[in-house]
């Protein structure tokens, strides 16, 4: 999964937890013309609304302006993980064992880069998925992105 600098992760987590939210994850994505996009996902037992995102965004913006952990320009976006939530940690994958997930790898493994199937199990280093009637093992450190597939 894409790595975010530890100092940035710690800084964002400190602000989010102080405001009584759970930091679900962070994406720091390069953009063509306007620097980076810093996307921060927050969670709470009662769910996340626009007011929650605004509250975290205001506080986080102030801290980021002072600490300046991102070189150059960036856009800050704070949101809920949503129904098709991204998965960032082994613990988050563990919460969704039994669910359908989409996984994109950093590079092609065994002829494919994209997987969709039922998440069977997870440990600290890999996950097992049922994909097209086969069990597939994927290393967590080779995952670029992963998302829960919403069930309607």
- CATH architecture of the domain with residue range 6-79: 2-Layer Sandwich (3.30)
pLDDT at 4: 85
Take residue 53 and report the two structure tokens written for it.
């995102």
pLDDT band (50, 70, 90) for residue 109? low
When pLDDT is averaged across residues 115-140 and rounded to a whole number, the result is 95
Apex CA 94: angle with CA 93 and CA 99, to 5°? 70
% of the chain at pLDDT higher than 70: 97
CA 36 to chain centre: 16
In this model, does residue 1 exceed pLDDT 60? no
pLDDT at 116: 97
The pLDDT, as a whole number, for residue 13 is 96
Fold of 90-148: SH3 type barrels. (2.30.30)
pLDDT grade for 83, boundaries at 50, 70 and 90:
very high
Question: Distance between alpha carbon 65 and the CA centroid of its chain, in Å?
Answer: 23
Indicate if the pLDDT at residue 152 is higher than 90.
no
Task: Give the confidence band of 101 by pLDDT, cuts at 50, 70, 90.
Answer: very high
Count of CB atoms situated within 10 Å of the CB of 146:
23
Would you state the pLDDT for residue 55?
97
What pLDDT is recorded for position 134? Answer: 94
Residue extents of the structural domains in the chain: 6-79, 90-148
pLDDT for 2 equals 62
**pLDDT per residue as tens digits for the range 32-67:** 677 889 999 999 999 999 999 999 999 999 999 998
Give the CA radius of gyration of the chain: 17
Q: What is the mean pLDDT of the chain?
A: 92
């Amino acid at each position: 999964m894409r790595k975010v600098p530890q100092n940035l992760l710690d800084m964002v987590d400190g602000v989010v937890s102080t405001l009584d939210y759970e930091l679900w994850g962070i994406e720091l994505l390069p953009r063509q013309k306007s620097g980076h996009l810093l996307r921060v996902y927050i969670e709470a037992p009662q769910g996340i609304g626009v007011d929650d995102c605004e509250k975290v965004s205001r506080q986080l913006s102030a801290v980021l302006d002072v600490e300046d952990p991102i070189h150059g320009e960036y856009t800050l976006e704070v949101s809920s993980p949503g129904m098709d939530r991204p998965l960032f940690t082994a613990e988050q994958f563990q919460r969704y064992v039994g669910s359908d997930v989409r996984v994109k790898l950093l590079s092609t493994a065994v002829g494919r880069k994209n997987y969709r199937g039922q998440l069977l199990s997870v440990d600290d280093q890999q996950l097992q998925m049922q994909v097209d009637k086969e069990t597939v093992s994927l290393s967590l450190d080779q995952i670029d992105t992963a998302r829960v597939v919403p069930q309607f």
